[in-house]
């Protein structure tokens, strides 16, 4: 028999090409309208210059967009996604071909003839089976195993969407198989070339020629309808990411560690009507594109320390709530929902959520499509802070920074007091015009917290013993402002950073060095003027390499050591190897990684004035959680490279009853005590 | 509703090492940072919240030297509509009576419904000004108020008493209310918020405008004179407990038992 081709069979007396044309034009018109509405909202949003660095962006897109490089961080789900994504890429040609077949039975894409067509069709057939299999597994995972990260606390009825999409994709595959399988019966080929068609054919073997024709034609039109149905469902559902994820990766943030300005493109933000973001269009267009693009995969929240210890924050829910709000406030059809007095920032995204973030960056590092949270949270904080709604626990320390340049409320003149009685080292306070090779930036914590002063002293001793020519700013040093900026007090950030910049500029040095990753981050990434700066771990590793610094294993003994990556050193500045190198150059030291290490390190609850932040919802301290992780691998010493990590972990060692069993020590102190 | 709030500019002694000034009647204040009295932070917040709730105007006043302009500006940023700075160098050394008198003279010329102050100041802890101000203006006053509601020209207050008791009282307006800390959550004032009110004029008010002369203020106008300010002699009655946490806890328990507390 010869099978009838859809293009040649009129439906209800209407020629097939006419029907195909109506479906295509109708779908494209609808799709264009929806996309236009969605893009229209982006155009109302705040500016965001993401059009430069084209080559870097293309690289990102190839690696993380098409290459899906972040997917395998969750191995099982990642693998499924890669297969599905590859399947979509391969099947896109098939879809174009099928659309053409509505007009002409002979339609094929250019070059898709002969052996190439045969080869492609075979690959396509395998792909159809893979995609179908993946979708069935995905449905089963969601229905039966229900991974916790897919949940939507305070439900917004999105759980069903995943099933609709997966169902549509399955239907696409099945109708494709029916269409090809019915044609396979009269023109069989070896099954291993076309397994999907052969499989479908095996079900239709006994069908009469008329039934086969109906299946062939019915399968075709069903496929076309499912295809355009899916296409049009995407931009109105959470699965918009199928369309927006690649652009989202292309436009991702390339300025790691830095906070965005209050508003791009204004010379004096102080003159703005409003500072910070209190509604959708206050966000930048890229940030709203983020909301569109979130796939609800929950990887961000699964790694968010605030979420894990029970604070009100789940980053994924910020995207979901904001997207729901966007879809309701700027609907495709009908009139906008009236939210009454309910505000996006403050009510829908609550103040508790906004203040609960430690800006650790775990969410951003995890997201497969580079959705950002820190900048958005800081933007919302800027707004809340301007309304005066800063949590009480943070007011005093901020006020102290404003008045005295440090959150401890200590008198400025005492800033260098820690440096006065260190045996064997003289710490120079650099006056204006003085010169030193290294400028040691101590920051407030190292200057005033008695425990952290010990790190300052250790560092001074190392610098002294390795004959480094160094000095400190003393009185002229101000709080670095890392958290001041992240809390949203931009005016105060400008004030402290300007004072520090002035102090830097009036002295001569080759490089700044600091052991505080927060200071390191803000000076390196946020200060409007750039100064060469390194972190103590980088300096120590250089000193070890140059054999200026030699260690003995006496202090550490045979204890098992682990290393806790500080967020602002690791995730925000990609320094993972130097501290490990220094640790492992101590003779006889046994080292073991915690399960969460490097870019998956677990925040100890934040530094700077976040030390003062009190959260009522958390059921355990982040530091305690971290100490238990160290306990799990039997670590006796936790080395870290950040004063705030040290404070938080040291507290947690006490509260988890590990005093005397686990010691936490800064890398600088470890080096100091191990010097031979 | 016309709301007046009185602010005090005090040295921040919390983290500073204090020493006695020559003459022994005060502490050395040159190196200290000054700031708004914390109790008054709650007072200005309450005043602004009353204004937001009942519609009105807030006037912030302080008897304070030039430097204190920043405090009054901060009050404007917090939501006050106008601010006045009363000063003459002769005010140096004034007691609560003089301050209350200066405030009363200034306020007498303006209509008001309610005056909100902090109950105490953190520096001298006198707690006198609110009460005296009420008496001088001939209106009722209350202290340690932890909640204010206003209806039909009357104010209802809640006061927190010892032993966890609450007391509700009612007063005719106008009245002077001295608030307790913690009755609200004072808002934060950002650098930008202060800059926004930078152009508002804060008039200074001198003695003649109050109808007072130099002899009526400062030491000479005061009814209280400080005899001596001193740091308690070290060592007496204080014991610093040393040792590990367990040892320290054991020693502490021992002491408490000895003293019959436990
Ligand atoms: S930055 Fe850290 S704390 Fe903040 S939302 Fe992301 S993961 Fe959570
Ligand atoms: S923000 Fe990224 S990681 Fe988080 S749910 Fe959305 S897509 Fe997943």
Please compute the mean of the pLDDT values over residues A588-608 and round it to a whole number.
94
Q: Distance between CA A61 and CA A48 in Å, rounded? A: 19
Percent of chain A with pLDDT over 90: 86
Q: Around A22, how many Cα atoms within 13 Å sit in the side-chain half-sphere?
A: 7
ipTM above threshold 0.90 = no
Q: Which two tokens stand for residue A661?
A: 């069993």
C-alpha A642/C-alpha A480 separation (Å) is: 14
Please name the residues in contact with A539: beta carbons below 8 A apart, sequence gap of 6 or more.
A438, A513
Residue A10: Cβ-neighbour burial (10 angstroms; 0-12, 13-18, 19+): exposed
pLDDT band at residue A155 under the 50/70/90 scheme: low
Non-local CB neighbours of B95 within 8 Å, separated by 6+ positions = B126, B128, B222, B223, B224, B225
**CB contacts < 8 A (A, B):** 51
Q: 3-class SS at B150?
A: strand
H or E element that contains A126: helix A114-140
pLDDT band at A153 (very low <50, low <70, confident <90, very high): confident
Domains A6-245 and A560-674 are alike in CATH topology? no
CB burial of A348-385 (b: ≥16 within 10 Å; e: otherwise) equals: ebebebbbbbbbbbbbbbbbbbbbbbbbbbbbbbbbbb
Which residues of chain B have a Cβ shorter than 8 Å from any chain A Cβ?
12, 14-16, 31, 33, 35, 78, 185-193, 195
Q: Mean pLDDT, to the nearest integer, of B113-124?
A: 92
Which residue from B33, B185, B195 is facing A270, i.e. has the nearest CB? B195
**pLDDT given for residue B237 in this prediction:** 66
Residues A302-324, mean pLDDT to the nearest whole number: 95
A221 dihedral zone (left: phi>0; alpha: psi -120 to 50; beta): alpha
Range A6-245 classified under CATH 1.20.950: yes
pLDDT at position A25 over 70 = yes
Q: Tell me how far CA of residue A89 lies from CA of A85, A128, A175, A236, B200, in angstroms.
A: 6, 12, 18, 22, 64
Residue nearest to atom 3 of ligand 1 (CA): A357
pLDDT score, position A195: 94
Minimal CA separation from B134 to chain A, in Å: 31
Contact A275 B189 (CB under 8 A): no
Distance CA B55, CA A563 (A): 58
Would you state the pLDDT for residue A505? 97
Contact predicate A347/A279, CB 8 Å: no
**How far is CA B215 from each of CA A63, A495, B25, B90, rounded to the nearest angstrom?**
82, 43, 20, 8
Q: Which two tokens stand for residue A55?
A: 């080559």
Geometric angle at alpha carbon A326, from A322 and A329, rounded to 5°: 130
| Residue A525, token pair as written in the block | 């990434």
The set of residues, in sequence order, having a beta carbon less than 8 Å from that of A66 and lying 6+ positions away, is A89, A246
- Ligand 2: lining residues by beta carbon, under 6 Å: A 294-300, 316, 319, 366-367, 369, 371
List pLDDT tens digits, range A188-234.
Answer: 889 999 999 999 999 998 889 999 999 999 999 999 999 999 999 98
For residue B246, what pLDDT band results from cuts at 50, 70 and 90? confident
| 3-class DSSP state of A671 | helix
B188/A385 Cβ within 8 A: yes
Confidence (pLDDT) at B7: 96
Distance, CA of A552 to CA of A571 (rounded, Å): 30
> What pLDDT is recorded for position A454?
95
CB contact under 8 A, A386 and B190: yes
User: CA-CA-CA-CA torsion for B41, B43, B44, B45, nearest 10 degrees?
Assistant: 80
Q: Cis omega (within 30 of 0) on the bond before B145?
A: no
CB A297 within 8 A of CB A77: yes
A289, A296, A300, A315, best to mutate for ligand 2 pocket (most atoms within 8 Å of CB): A300
Contact residues on chain A for B31, CB-CB shorter than 8 A: 411, 413
Residues of A with CB under 8 A from a CB of B: 270, 275, 385-390, 392, 394-395, 398-399, 402-404, 408-411, 413, 489-492, 494-495
Instruction: Give the model's pLDDT for residue B244.
Output: 75
Q: Return the structure tokens found at B202.
A: 């804060």
CATH class of A560-674: alpha beta
Would you call A141 exposed, middle or buried from its count of C-beta atoms within 10 A (0-12, 13-18, 19+)? Answer: middle
Residue A235: predicted pLDDT: 87
Write phi, then psi, for B170 (nearest 5 degrees): -125, 145
Beta bridge partners of B170: B156
CATH architecture group of domain A411-542: 3-Layer(aba) Sandwich (3.40)
Q: How far apart are CA B100 and CA B98, in angstroms?
A: 5
Give the residue, A647 or A423, on which the prediction is more confident: A647
* Rounded Cα gap, residues A628 and A656, in angstroms: 8
Task: For residue A571, report the distance from its CA to the centre of ligand 1, in Å.
Answer: 12
Residues of A in contact with B190 (CB under 8 A): 275, 385-386, 489, 491-492
Give residue A237's pLDDT. 82
What local confidence, expressed as pLDDT, does residue B235 receive?
A: 66
CATH says B2-221 is which class?
alpha beta
CA of A625 to the centre of ligand 2 (A): 23
Identify the DSSP state of A14. B
* pLDDT greater than 70 at residue B236: no
Query: What residue ranges do the domains of chain B occupy?
Result: 2-221
Beta strand B154-160 pairing with B141-151: antiparallel
Using only C-alpha atoms, chain B has a radius of gyration, in whole angstroms, of: 21
Q: Phi-psi category of A424—alpha, beta or left, where left has phi over 0 and alpha has psi -120 to 50?
A: left
Q: Please tell me the predicted confidence (pLDDT) of residue A624.
A: 96
Identify the residue whose tokens are 């209190």. A278
Residue A632 near residue A602 (C-beta atoms within 8 A): no
Spans of all domains in chain A: 6-245, 277-386, 411-542, 560-674
Q: What mean pLDDT do residues A320-330 have? A: 93
Tracing tokens 């200290």 back to the chain, one arrives at: B32
pLDDT tens-digit profile of A79-117?
999 999 999 999 999 999 999 999 999 899 998 889 999
pLDDT grade for B245, boundaries at 50, 70 and 90: confident
Q: Which residue of A294, A310, A315, A615 sits with most ligand 1 atoms within 8 Å of its CB, as the best mutation to test the pocket?
A: A315
CB contact under 8 A, B191 and A402: yes
- What integer pLDDT is reported at residue B122 of this predicted model? 87
Q: What is the pLDDT of residue B254?
A: 86
Tell me which of A512-516, A552-556, A604-608, B230-234 is least confident. B230-234
| Statement: residue A268 has pLDDT above 70 | yes
Cβ pair A618, A407 in contact under 8 A: no
Q: In angstroms, what is the span from residue A301 Cα to ligand 1's centroid? A: 8
Q: In angstroms, what is the span from residue A107 Cα to ligand 2's centroid?
A: 40
A260 Cα–ligand 2 center, Å: 21
Residues of chain A neighbouring B75 (CB-CB closer than 8 A): none
**Which residues in chain A are closer than 8 Å to B10, comparing Cβ atoms?**
none
Nearest to B134 by CA among B152, B156, B119, B151: B119
Grade residue A289 by pLDDT with cuts at 50, 70 and 90: very high
| Alpha-carbon span B82 to A269, nearest angstrom | 26
A385 and B191: CB-CB below 8 Å?
A: no
Q: What is the largest CA-CA distance in chain A?
A: 100
Q: Give yes or no for a contact between A441 and A482, defined as CB atoms under 8 angstroms apart.
A: no
Inform me whether the pLDDT recorded for A40 exceeds 90: yes
Was domain A277-386 assigned CATH 1.10.1060? Answer: yes
In terms of Cα–Cα distance, which of A425, A430, A423, A434 is closest to A466?
A: A425
Would you state the pLDDT for residue A156? Answer: 62
Round to whole Å and give the CA distance between B140 and B176.
6
pLDDT exceeds 90 at position B12: no
A157 pLDDT higher than 70: no
User: Average pLDDT over chain A, rounded to whole?
Assistant: 94
């Amino acid at each position: 028999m010869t099978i009838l081709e859809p293009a040649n069979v009129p439906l209800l007396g209407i020629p097939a090409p006419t029907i195909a044309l109506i479906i295509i034009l109708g779908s494209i018109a609808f799709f264009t309208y929806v996309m236009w509405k969605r893009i229209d909202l982006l155009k109302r949003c705040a500016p965001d210059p993401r059009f430069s660095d084209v080559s870097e962006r293309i690289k990102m897109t190839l690696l993380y967009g098409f290459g899906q490089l972040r997917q395998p961080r969750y191995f099982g789900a990642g693998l499924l996604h890669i297969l599905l994504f590859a399947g979509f890429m391969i099947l896109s040609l098939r879809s174009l071909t099928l659309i053409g077949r509505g007009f002409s039975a002979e339609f094929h894409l250019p070059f898709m003839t002969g052996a190439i067509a045969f080869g492609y069709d075979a690959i396509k057939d395998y792909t159809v089976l893979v995609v179908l299999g993946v979708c069935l597994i995905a449905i089963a995972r969601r229905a039966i195993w229900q991974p916790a990260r897919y949940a939507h606390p305070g439900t917004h009825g999105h759980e069903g969407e995943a099933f609709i999409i997966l169902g549509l994709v399955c239907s696409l595959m099945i109708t494709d198989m029916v269409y090809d399988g019915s044609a396979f019966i009269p023109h069989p080929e070896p099954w291993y070339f076309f397994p999907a068609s052969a499989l479908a054919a095996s079900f239709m073997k006994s069908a009469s020629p008329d039934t086969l024709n109906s299946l062939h034609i019915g399968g075709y039109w069903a496929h076309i309808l499912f295809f355009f149905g899916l296409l049009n469902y995407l931009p109105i559902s959470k699965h918009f990411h199928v369309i927006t994820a690649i652009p989202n990766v292309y436009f991702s943030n390339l300025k790691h560690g830095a906070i965005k300005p209050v508003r791009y493109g204004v010379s004096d933000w102080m003159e703005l009507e409003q500072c910070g973001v209190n509604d959708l269009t206050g966000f930048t267009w890229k940030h709203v594109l983020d909301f569109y693009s979130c796939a609800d995969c929950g990887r961000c929240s699964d790694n968010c320390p605030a979420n894990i210890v029970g604070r009100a924050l789940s980053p994924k829910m910020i995207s979901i709530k904001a997207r729901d709000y966007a879809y309701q406030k700027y609907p495709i059809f009908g009139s906008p929902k009236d939210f009454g007095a309910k505000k996006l920032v403050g009510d829908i995204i609550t103040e508790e959520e906004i203040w609960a973030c430690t800006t650790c960056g775990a969410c951003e590092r995890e997201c497969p499509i580079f959705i950002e949270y820190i900048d958005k949270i800081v933007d919302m904080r800027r707004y809340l802070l301007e309304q005066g709604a800063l949590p009480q626990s943070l007011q005093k320390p901020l006020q102290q920074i404003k008045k005295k340049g440090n959150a401890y409320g200590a008198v400025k003149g005492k800033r260098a007091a820690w440096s006065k009685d260190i045996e064997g080292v003289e710490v120079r306070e650099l006056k204006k015009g003085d010169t030193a090779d290294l400028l040691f930036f101590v920051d407030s914590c190292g200057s005033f917290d008695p425990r952290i002063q010990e790190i300052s002293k250790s560092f001074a001793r190392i610098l002294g013993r390795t004959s480094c020519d160094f000095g400190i700013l003393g009185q002229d040093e101000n709080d670095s402002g890392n958290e001041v900026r992240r809390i949203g007090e931009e005016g105060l950030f400008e004030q402290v950073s300007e004072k520090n910049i002035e102090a830097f500029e009036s002295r001569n040095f080759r490089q700044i060095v600091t052991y505080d990753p927060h200071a390191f981050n803000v000076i390196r990434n946020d200060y409007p003027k750039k100064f060469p700066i390194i972190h103590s771990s980088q300096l120590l590793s250089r000193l070890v390499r140059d054999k200026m610094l030699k260690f003995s294993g006496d202090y550490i003994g045979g204890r098992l050591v682990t290393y806790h990556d500080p967020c602002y050193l690791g995730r925000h500045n990609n320094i993972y190897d130097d501290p490990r190198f220094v640790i492992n150059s101590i003779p006889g030291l046994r080292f073991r990684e915690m399960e969460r290490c490097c870019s998956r390190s677990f925040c100890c609850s934040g530094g700077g004035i976040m030390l003062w932040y009190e959260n009522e919802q958390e059921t355990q301290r982040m530091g305690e959680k971290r100490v238990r992780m160290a306990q799990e691998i039997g670590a006796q010493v936790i080395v870290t490279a950040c004063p705030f990590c040290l404070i938080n972990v040291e507290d947690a060692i006490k509260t988890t009853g590990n005093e005397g069993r686990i010691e936490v020590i800064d890398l600088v102190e470890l080096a100091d005590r191990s010097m031979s | 509703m016309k709301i007046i709030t009185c602010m005090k500019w005090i040295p921040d002694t919390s983290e500073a090492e204090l020493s006695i000034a020559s003459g022994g009647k005060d502490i050395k204040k040159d190196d200290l940072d000054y700031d708004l009295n914390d109790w008054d932070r709650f007072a200005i917040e309450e005043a602004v919240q009353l204004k937001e709730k009942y519609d009105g105007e807030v006037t912030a006043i302080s008897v304070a030297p030039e430097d204190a302009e920043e405090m009054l500006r901060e009050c404007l940023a917090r939501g006050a509509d106008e601010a006045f700075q009363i000063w003459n160098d002769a005010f140096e050394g004034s007691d609560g009576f003089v301050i209350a008198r200066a405030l009363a003279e200034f306020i007498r010329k303006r209509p008001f419904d309610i005056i909100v102050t902090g109950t105490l100041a953190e520096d001298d802890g006198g707690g006198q000004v609110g009460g005296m101000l009420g008496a001088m203006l001939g209106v009722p006053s209350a202290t340690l108020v932890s909640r204010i509601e206003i209806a039909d020209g009357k104010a209802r207050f809640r006061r927190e008493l010892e032993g966890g008791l609450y007391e509700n009282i009612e007063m005719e307006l106008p009245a002077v209310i001295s608030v307790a800390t913690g009755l609200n959550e004072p808002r934060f004032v950002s650098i930008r918020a202060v800059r926004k009110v930078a152009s508002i004029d804060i008039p200074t008010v001198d003695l003649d405008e109050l109808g007072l002369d130099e002899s009526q203020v400062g030491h000479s106008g005061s009814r209280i004179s400080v005899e001596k300010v001193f740091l308690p002699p070290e060592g007496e009655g204080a014991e610093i407990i040393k040792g590990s946490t367990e040892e320290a806890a054991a020693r502490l328990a021992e002491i408490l038992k000895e003293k019959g507390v436990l």
